[in-house]
Structure 1
């Protein structure tokens, strides 16, 4: 069942003040105010109200204030006309004049800020003939940094010109030199004919102007597709995993997996780390191989690079195909390619022989 929401009635604060000052509630009751509400106004304290002062003035007071404002506006218009004529005759303009004194800039910024309550910022800047970019540049500087420096390079024999400072700024903030430290960049700039300044000068300019070096790192695109085989027994993977048991002991699981079918071709679990296990599981996995020899991808662990594996490569090196029941387990070892475990993916070239490890 829906419940009706009660709407709270609001009354004029002047009617409330009238009841409180006259101590008469009938003037409020005649205007539709409930008797209980009118009686509460007698005991309630005065409530602060935000209003316009002109609403409390009568017609005669308002007319007198309007006449005063008109006389003041006429005086201001007359003074403004005289000042504009003198200003135009003097030819002074902020567009072609510098204000090297920081105090003058602060006074002008303060006056512009005070005038924004009555005029838009664009209109104020148009009157004083100050460009918006120059105004925002002054407004963005610290109060102690509004004083202009001397633009003449002859004031100091070793002082940098504004163009040289601009070149240093471009080199410091350039993305092409993000990897070069500031000190090294100071020694590189004279070699390429850009700027001639000491490393301490570079550090001082970076600190004074608060230049920020590009910090973003450039990461190469990570490959989303690794090694993929197009048929079974084309690429094999061999690796060893260490299993921690509940009693604290370790079990070493070594297996050979086909890249195409993800099938475990051979595996072995041992209680100790035996590098000779690689030869056993490779021979077991090779019993079902026929046709083209697979390529083996392995890491650089000692279980894959040891004397037993070297003997297997030497014994089962390149051989001529021969028919017979034992031909299926004969393997060809052509090359070794080391594949770092930390790399996400590498491009492994095609190899005809089995036993190429990358």
Structure 2
């Protein structure tokens, strides 16, 4: 027989507020809901199957919804169908079936672990499970078969084998796409390298090293580039000489690219940085901005908006910088050094000849290491953050906007790395006077604050 729940209907509400009517009705229905046993469910389903009354009349008499009746009927018919097909597990209760299945699963896992450990004992001499172990294709296939046939989960099986899951799934993917042949080890070195130096050029580098053994790999790279008009890096020359056992002096050391220069500049016009950047004019295409920036003060000495990135554009910008800095009129002790990347215009022979005539030393940063030219790269970012906010439709419009921003950058924008001075203050030698004046104002302000504090305390 069904029983009604004796749970209280009313609920306690804060501050004596009455519950809404819908909530009260819902609580009453929930508390007085009739609970049907399995025997009653079977009886109701059988009465519906006999067809003496309609399903709607039967549900009204029993006080249930039609959807609930059809749900019971579906479960009843499915259970009978499984029993007729030989599902003897239905004779046991649900809890018993679950317990038996869990016990069978546990026994299978124990047996699988024991079998796996016995298998690994045979493979211990082969080195299975060691870190960074390299397996041939046949053993990779054996491991895949072992994981597929194991009753343990994949991760537990791989833990016993000592193989990372990522490695196993990479093998499995290759096996599914290419079969057993795809599991063979692949050579770590590529067959061909697109930037490999030709053999005839390698021979000429070796001849130059034998003819002038006093040169370091860096000097050999520069000398070869200047003479042969063919750029080779210092690292490439070092590796080539080391392969031929021509590195005999400890002075021949490859300089590792650092985040900044170890020997920093101490005055303006000691080192200039130069580079190109891209700017687009709507309807005209891309234009290229060539800039010369002083390393010590970050002062933009000269710039030029070009239609290309030729060596002549670089020399034109450098001539503007020499005129603006006064290095062509005044007698200077040392010419400024030039720092650039390894772009085509900066490794050109015409630029090398022009720099040699001007007695300007050229330094190139390490390949794929733009941090060496970090100051001018940061200038490009600052420029584009301001210039690209609006579109330019004429080259003259873009040039005027660049000129206005360069004036702002040099004379009005304070740099944190320059002790909050403008590049013009540092470049023209006003930095020390400005800093001293700021220090004097600071001392005077602190003195006034102390005096005011004493007056208020008295």
Normalised by the shorter chain, which TM-score bucket?
0.3 to 0.5
Structure with the greater alpha carbon radius of gyration: 1
How high is the TM-score relative to the length of structure 2? Answer: 0.32
TM-score, length basis structure 1: 0.39
Query: Per residue, is there more helix in 1 or in 2?
Result: 2
